Chain A
Amino acid sequence: MHRFANPARFLRAAQLVLPWSAGLTVALLAAGLYLGLLGSPADYQQGETVRIMYVHVPSAWMGLFVYSNMAIASAVALIWKHPLADVVAKASAPVGAGFTFVCLVTGALWGKPMWGTWWAWDARLTSMLILLFLYLGHMALVNAFDDPTRGAKAGAVLALAGFVNVPIIKYSVDWWNTLHQPASVTRVGMPAVDPAMLTPLLLMGLAFTTFFVTLLILRVRSELAATKIRAIRMVQVHGG
């Protein structure tokens, strides 16, 4: 059964990681929220609304990061047929969709005071919306088959095909002249942001990442249990 890398090993490792990732999430969130809401100055242009940044930007990063993560997992699943990779891709999608949704809503809430409109059809905003649809399409496709393995494989091909969109979102602001700001934190070389704002931003980013790891572990465990339930059911039907 070399193809069926042992899920038991994963579960043991997950058991070790889980308390750490959960604990870190809480600690980082507490620190990030404190610094973000109380311990950092208001922006001289944007005023207090700049505090939306501490949830908006990390969730945007996570939306992109989780999709990349899914694409990598899908490539692993397709090339090495590692069954855990399929499960990881499937478990990531709803979480990524959640982050993307948060990015969109917080962006809209930021846009109203800053640009005077909830929504504008500019390149970054719309490509983020498309990313949300890619997530939803992936979720729908994976669940659209009677045979779960079929859904997983189709989902893997889709995740790779949709990955083309990620660089477009990331660089849309640089390629097209738009309302939205260009990258200032993640740009090559020195970040162009005041450290007083950079620290809470990075803390929140880390908190979101550990939160994602925590959720991923829970969801993969759940998915593995569901697989086993199906297996036992199947034995009941066909008489193992």
Chain B
Amino acid sequence: MDGVLGMGGYAAYVWPAYGITAVVMLGLLITSLREMRKNESQLAALKQAHPRRRARAEEGQS
């Protein structure tokens, strides 16, 4: 176990590398998800408030 965590004396470089990668990737994932949730819920709320728009949109599509 010490072999893996210790990384042959290079733990101070290897683990931060993986750590930074994880932080950036998770950060991207979380911000993207949050943004999407926010926008989609806002859109749903707006559609709720303006149900007529939906009808009009469908009519416009035909």
Check if A225 sits within 8 Å of B18, measured CB to CB: no
Summarize A's interface: helix, strand, loop or mixed. Answer: helix
B residues with a Cβ closer than 8 A to A are 4, 7-10, 13-14, 16-18, 20-21, 24-25, 27-29, 32-33, 35-36, 38-40, 42-43, 46-47, 50, 53, 56
Interchain CB contact (< 8 A) of B20 among A106, A215, A229, A236: A106
What total of chain A residues lie within 8 Å of the partner, measured CB to CB? 39
Report how far A101 CA is from B23 CA in the complex, Å: 11
Q: Does A48 contact B10, Cβ atoms closer than 8 Å?
A: yes
Q: With an 8 A cutoff between CB atoms, is A124 at the interface?
A: no
Closest-by-CB residue of A relative to B50 is A232
Contact B25 A98 (CB under 8 A): yes
Contact A240 B36 (CB under 8 A): no
The B interface is mostly helix, strand or loop, or mixed, namely helix
CB distance from A226 to the nearest CB of B (A): 5
Q: Which chain A residues (201-221) contact chain B, with CB distance < 8 Å? A: 211, 214-215, 218-219, 221
30 A-B Cβ contacts within 8 A?
A47-B9, A47-B10, A48-B7, A48-B8, A49-B10, A52-B14, A59-B21, A94-B28, A102-B25, A105-B17, A106-B17, A109-B20, A110-B17, A214-B29, A215-B29, A215-B32, A218-B32, A218-B33, A219-B35, A222-B32, A222-B35, A225-B39, A228-B43, A229-B42, A229-B46, A232-B43, A232-B53, A235-B53, A236-B50, A240-B53
Q: Which of A52, A211, A226, A235 contacts B39 (CB 8 A)?
A: A226
Contacts of A150 in B (CB 8 A): none
A229 close to B8 (CB less than 8 A): no
* Contact, CB under 8 Å: B17 / A56: yes
Q: Do A55 and B17 have beta carbons less than 8 Å apart?
A: yes
Residues on B with C-beta less than 8 A from A38 are 4
Residue numbers in B under 8 Å from A42 (CB-CB): 8
